[in-house]
Amino acid sequence: MRRDSFGSRFGALVALAGSAVGLGNLWRFPYLVGENGGAAFIIIYIVFVFLICLPIFISEFIVGRRSQKNAFAAFRDLSGGSGWRWVGLMTVIVPVVVTSYYSVIGGWAVEYLFKSFTFSFTAEAQSVIDTMFSDFTSSPWRPLICHTAFLCVTALIVVMGIKGGIEKFSKIMMPLLFVIVMAIAVYSLTLSGSHKGVEYLFRPDFSKIDAKSCAAALGQAFFSLSLGFGTIMTYASYVDKKENIMFQSTATAVSDLMFALIAGIAVMPAVFAFGLDPQSGPGLVFETLPYVFSQMPAGGLVAILFFIALLVAAITSSISMFEVGVAYLIEEKKMSRIAACSVLLAVCWSVGALCSLSFGPLSNVRLAGMNIFDFFDNLSSNILMTLGSLLTVLFVGWRLKKTEIYDEFTNGGTISANVRIFGILWFLIRYVAPVAVAVVFLSGIIA
Ligand code: PFF
């Protein structure tokens, strides 16, 4: 049977950008900037994106497109059947776990979109909105229902295939997402007092930068670019051999960065305009912002737009993670697409349900001192993701043949710009990226 693939350059690009742009940009990036010293963090983040993450992204791209297989088979076949396939298996399992808890937060976005439509953010006091959030997350049923809805939509899109589902959805939703986030950013800048938020984002304070904030910046860059999860590899396996890997990778990294910055501009000036604390951590989007919406002119409409954006961003990312497992089950376990999606739906739903309940009825259950949600988040987003990225870049830099990488990166020597920069890329893949990842990761643990 012929393998499904992306139908056009633009389709592949928006799907890749859709995977990258997600909760990480709209939810995580603004609060991490807030916690880690504003612009200084952004500068380090940008350096990491281009010096470390882009070479890793390209490495994943090469592995996926070279093999034209799922992540497990890509490692197995390119390494000639060696133990590297276990790395491949890890990159299949991690996104399954992440989809599970990512879908819980996606479910929160569903609930908050519903709340925006029903004009729930009209409280005079922030404490009322804070309580609304904790009441919601700690209740057993509502978050579970929202998680189920989010995951079903994810599975439904993936079941329609690469061209007919993932690509089609991304082609419509990514431009819409851009327009919405841009519009909110512009509006946010018009609020009086917003300049303090802009200063906060763009005036660097390097005294806040230490090993921990560097580790946070790198972790965020990995997460935001969907690295170490087999996702880029899987999507790349559906990209046409004629496409330019350098162009597709750079365009994805730049769009992801742009979205993160625009999200920062959408959020921070508004937070400052109402004299609120920018460092409110994960609660920024679900506690601080709804309060901001309740106070600003036309806040009801802005709330609806914001939560539509959050939801769309989350879905275009969750489908990319979901596809990693689906591709594996179809190609390695010979399942039909619909059977593969059903199996994964059941697995992700169950793990996600545990994560969802860990904010309420299961909050006493501790794994390594954390609740279930934090445990999975820490294990996959901090440790396994970094490990996956490190092993992938080592695989490409030290296990694959240089001629093979050259051939894939330059499309058989036909893209002259790529021929010229190959030397630099090779150096970054072989030395800079692995060393930098190891150093930042370890110093973050020790600090
Ligand atoms: N990049 C996504 C975000 O920023 O929200 C999250 C993500 C998607 C991580 C896909 C990993 C992945 F495979």
| Domain harbouring 234, CATH code | 1.20.1740.10
Q: pLDDT class for 180, splitting at 50, 70, 90?
A: very high
Question: Does residue 342 register a pLDDT over 90?
Answer: yes
CA distance 368 to 67: 38
Q: Nearest CA to 11 among 322, 224, 227, 243?
A: 243
- Look at 440 and 7; give whichever has higher pLDDT: 7
Pocket test for ligand 1, best of 321, 326, 328 (most atoms within 8 A of CB): 321
Q: Is residue 304 part of a domain?
A: yes
CA distance 130 to 139: 14
Q: pLDDT class for 341, splitting at 50, 70, 90?
A: very high
Residue type, 71: A
CA distance 396 to 429: 8
Beta-bridge partners for 204: 38
Count of C-beta atoms within a 10 Å radius of residue 2? 4
Q: Nearest CA to 146 among 121, 110, 173, 115?
A: 110
What separation in Å is there between the alpha carbon of 431 and the centre of ligand 1? Answer: 25
User: For residue 286, what are the domain limits?
Assistant: 9-446
CA angle 221, 27, 19 (to 5 degrees): 55
Predicted local distance difference test score (pLDDT) of residue 76: 96
Predicted local distance difference test score (pLDDT) of residue 200: 84
Give me the mean pLDDT over the 199-206 stretch.
85
Cβ atoms of 11 and 163 closer than 8 Å: yes
Number of domains in the chain: 1
* pTM of the shown model: 0.94
Beta-bridge partners for 38: 204
Residues with CB under 6 A from ligand 1: 19-20, 22-25, 95, 98, 223-224, 226, 229, 231, 317, 320-321
CA distance 427 to 431: 6
What separation in Å is there between the alpha carbon of 16 and the centre of ligand 1? Answer: 10
Q: pLDDT class for 279, splitting at 50, 70, 90?
A: low
Count of C-beta atoms within a 10 Å radius of residue 83? 9
Please state the length of the chain: 447
Nearest-CA residue for atom 10 of ligand 1: 226
Highest averaged pLDDT of the listed ranges 41-45, 201-205, 365-369: 41-45
3-state secondary structure of 370: strand
Predicted local distance difference test score (pLDDT) of residue 447: 66
Say what percent of the chain tops pLDDT 70: 98
Question: Does residue 382 register a pLDDT over 80?
Answer: no
Q: Is residue 3 part of a domain?
A: no
Q: Is residue 2 part of a domain?
A: no
Question: Does residue 77 register a pLDDT over 80?
Answer: yes
Give me the mean pLDDT over the 288-308 stretch.
91
Q: pLDDT class for 275, splitting at 50, 70, 90?
A: confident
The pLDDT tens digits of the residues spanning 242-254 come to 999 999 999 999 9
Question: Does residue 53 register a pLDDT over 90?
Answer: yes
Question: Does residue 256 register a pLDDT over 80?
Answer: yes
Predicted local distance difference test score (pLDDT) of residue 379: 85
What separation in Å is there between the alpha carbon of 143 and the centre of ligand 1? Answer: 21
CA distance 341 to 19: 18
Question: Does residue 278 register a pLDDT over 80?
Answer: no
Cβ atoms of 389 and 56 closer than 8 Å: yes
Predicted local distance difference test score (pLDDT) of residue 439: 84
Cβ atoms of 224 and 252 closer than 8 Å: no
The pLDDT tens digits of the residues spanning 14-33 come to 999 999 999 999 988 988 88
Predicted local distance difference test score (pLDDT) of residue 261: 95
Q: pLDDT class for 351, splitting at 50, 70, 90?
A: very high
Pocket test for ligand 1, best of 16, 19, 70, 91 (most atoms within 8 A of CB): 19
What separation in Å is there between the alpha carbon of 177 and the centre of ligand 1? Answer: 16
**What Cα–Cα distance (Å) separates residue 310 from each residue in 54, 178, 251, 351, 382?**
25, 11, 21, 22, 22
What separation in Å is there between the alpha carbon of 220 and the centre of ligand 1? Answer: 10
Categorise residue 2: left if φ over 0, alpha if ψ from -120 to 50, beta otherwise: beta
CA distance 400 to 77: 11
| Buried-state track 110-127, b at ≥16 Cβ within 10 A, e below 16 | bbbbebbeeebbebeebe
Q: Nearest CA to 356 among 121, 35, 111?
A: 111
Predicted local distance difference test score (pLDDT) of residue 122: 77
Predicted local distance difference test score (pLDDT) of residue 377: 84
Give me the mean pLDDT over the 221-225 stretch.
94
Give every CB contact of residue 285 below 8 A, 6+ residues apart in sequence.
Answer: 26, 27, 30, 31, 267, 310
Cβ atoms of 27 and 284 closer than 8 Å: yes
Pocket test for ligand 1, best of 229, 310, 316 (most atoms within 8 A of CB): 229
SS (H, E, C) 382-402: HHHHHHHHHHHHHHHHHHCCH
The pLDDT tens digits of the residues spanning 114-167 come to 999 987 887 667 888 888 899 999 998 999 999 999 999 999 999 999 999 999
Q: Is residue 230 part of a domain?
A: yes
Q: Nearest CA to 444 among 220, 223, 217, 215?
A: 215
Predicted local distance difference test score (pLDDT) of residue 393: 95
Q: pLDDT class for 288, splitting at 50, 70, 90?
A: confident
The pLDDT tens digits of the residues spanning 411-420 come to 999 999 999 9
Q: Is residue 1 part of a domain?
A: no
- Look at 179 and 368; give whichever has higher pLDDT: 179
Say what percent of the chain tops pLDDT 90: 70
- Look at 361 and 157; give whichever has higher pLDDT: 157
Q: Is residue 13 part of a domain?
A: yes
Any idea which of 6-15, 256-265, 282-291, 417-426 has the lowest mean pLDDT? 282-291
Q: Is residue 292 part of a domain?
A: yes
Q: Nearest CA to 277 among 24, 29, 30?
A: 30
Predicted local distance difference test score (pLDDT) of residue 444: 66
Predicted local distance difference test score (pLDDT) of residue 391: 94
| Buried-state track 163-177, b at ≥16 Cβ within 10 A, e below 16 | bebbbbbbbebbeeb
What separation in Å is there between the alpha carbon of 69 and the centre of ligand 1? Answer: 20
